[in-house]
Amino acid sequence: MTASAAASPFADIRRLAADLPAPGVFVPPADGGRLAEISAWLTAWTGRTPPSVNRPVVALYAGARQGIGPRGYARDRLETIAAGGASISRMAGSQGAGLEAFDLAIDRPTPDARQKASMSEKECAATMAFGMEALAKQPDLLIPGVIAAEAHRDAAAIALALFGGEAADWAVGEVAADVAAAVERARGEGDLSDPLEALRQLGGRETAAVAGAILAARVQKIPVLLDGYAASAAAAVLHAIDPDLIAHAVAAHVGGPGHARLLAALGKAPLVSLEIEDEEGVGGVSALALVRLACEVR
C-alpha cells in the first residue's frame, strides 16, 4: 500500500474489507429447493442448527439530494415511520422485527450528482462508518433500506459506473439522461474503476450508509436481506471490491428492470417478486416471512 493510499479516508474501510471471517459450511438437501437453500444460508452464517431468526432489524437510512423529489420528502417519511403510519412500521411489527431509522443530515442535501460529487472521501468514509451503527442492536439478520426521494437515480448511476452498458439499461425515460450526465461528469473527475470513488461521486449518504452496514454485517457474519434497488447498488460497490464482501447477502425481492439487471450482475436471485419499487424495507420484511418458514425445513 502506498503512503497516499494509507492516508486516504477510505484506508480503514479497505482494511476492514480485506480481513474477513469465513462462513461455516452447510450443504442443503438436494431435493429441498429454494427453502433448503435459505435454511443452509442461515446456518452457514449464524452457526445455528436448526437455523432461526430471533432478532431481525430493519435499518433505514434517510438522505436528501438537491433538486430531487418534493421538498421535505425524507423528513415527512421519517416522521410517518416514527409515528407508526408507514407500511413498514406495521409490517416490521407484525414480523417481530426491530425498526431503526437514521437521519443522515437530510436538512443538508447532497449536491446534484450531474454537477458535483455527492461527498468528499472523508464524508463518504464517515457515512459508511455511521451506517455500521445498525449493528449495535446485535441483530441476527439485517434488512437495510433507504428513505430518499427517487432513490433509483443514484442506484442506476452506480450500476452504470460499475457495470457499464447504456444508461437506459439501468433507468428509464428522462431519468436515464440524468444518470448518463452524472456518470459522464464523475468520469471526468475521478477514477470510477475504484468502487469507493464511484460511491462517493454518485451515491447519496443513504447509499454509503447501507454499504457500511452491509460490510459490518459481513465482518460479524450476520446474514443480510437486500431490500431494494438502492440497497443492491450499495452491495454492488462492495461486490466490485471483492465479491466475497456480499457472500452473506441474499436479494429479498426485485422491483423494476434496472434492479433486476443489477441483481443478475451480482448473481443474486430474489426470494420474491413483488413488482414494487419500495426502498423502505417492505420487500425485505416480506421476504423475512419466507426466511422464517425456511427455518422449518429439515
Q: Which residues are catalytic?
A: 280
Q: What DSSP assignment string belongs to the chain?
A: --HHHHHSTTHHHHHHHHS-PPPP--PPPTT-HHHHHHHHHHHHHH--SS-----EEEEEEE--BTTSSSTTHHHHHHHHHHTT-SHHHHHHHHTT-EEEEEE-STTSPBPPTTTS-SS-HHHHHHHHHHHGGGGGG--SEEEEEEE-TTTHHHHHHHHHHHH-S-HHHH--HHHHHHHHHHHHHHHHHS-TTSHHHHHHHH--HHHHHHHHHHHHHHHTT--EEE-SHHHHHHHHHHHHH-GGGGTTEEE-EE-SHHHHHHHHHHT---SEE------SSHHHHHHHHHHHHHTT--
